[in-house]
Amino acid sequence: MHAEIVRISLRQVDIKIIKGDQMHVLQWRRTLFWDEVLLDGKRQAHSSGLWGREKVYGLVFGRDLDGKGGEKVMLMIDPKKNEWNWTNEQLRGIRLEGRDGAIVAFGTLDPKSLEKPDTFADWMKKAIGMNWG
């Protein structure tokens, strides 16, 4: 299974998933009163309320009509606004994880984000996006 993030905004995420010879589109949408996860345009999960909505969703790809088999994946969303990027409002983190580890990860949910920078210049670049010439 292979995945790519196609679009990230503050209230929408689109992920292209390729499994074998099939392509799927996994979407996360946030509205005023609910969040929903769509797979190929069909609602798979939702979470409602004003605060404390679900941030971890479990999904199964390739299950048969009886609900057996398939590959389980977990979608995690860090829905807070990215504070250092005022021009482009987007989520802080996204992670799609399978049985063998992360399939795709971005931002605060990317394992690379936990690595400590080697130098002060690396820290500045990572923390606030400043790049020294």
How far is residue 13's CA from residue 30's CA, in Å, rounded to a whole number? 9
Domains along the chain with CATH numbers? 2-128 (2.40.128.180)
Residues in the chain: 133
Q: What distance lies between CA 117 and its chain's CA centroid?
A: 24
Mean pLDDT for the stretch of residues 64-75: 84
pLDDT at 6: 95
Summarised one tens digit per residue, pLDDT across range 74-118 is 999 988 876 665 566 778 889 999 989 999 999 888 877 666 777
Query: How far is the C-alpha of 98 from the C-alpha of 111, rounded, in Å?
Result: 15
Task: In whole angstroms, give the CA distance from residue 39 to residue 15.
Answer: 10
